[in-house]
Amino acid sequence: EMLGENQRDLTAEQAAERLRALSEVHYKERTK
Query: Mind listing the pLDDT tens digit for each residue in 7-31?
Result: 666 788 898 999 999 988 877 888 7
Determine the pLDDT at residue 31: 76
At 29 the pLDDT is 81
State residue 17's pLDDT score: 93
Task: State how far the Cα of 32 lies from the Cα of 5, in Å rounded to an integer.
Answer: 41
Q: Is the pLDDT of residue 1 over 70?
A: no
For the chain, what is the largest distance between any 2 Cα atoms, rounded to a whole number of angstroms? 47
Amino acid residing at 31? T
Full DSSP string of 1-32: -HHHHHHHHHHHHHHHHHHHHHHHHHHHHHH-
In this prediction, residue 2 carries a pLDDT of 67
pLDDT at 26: 79
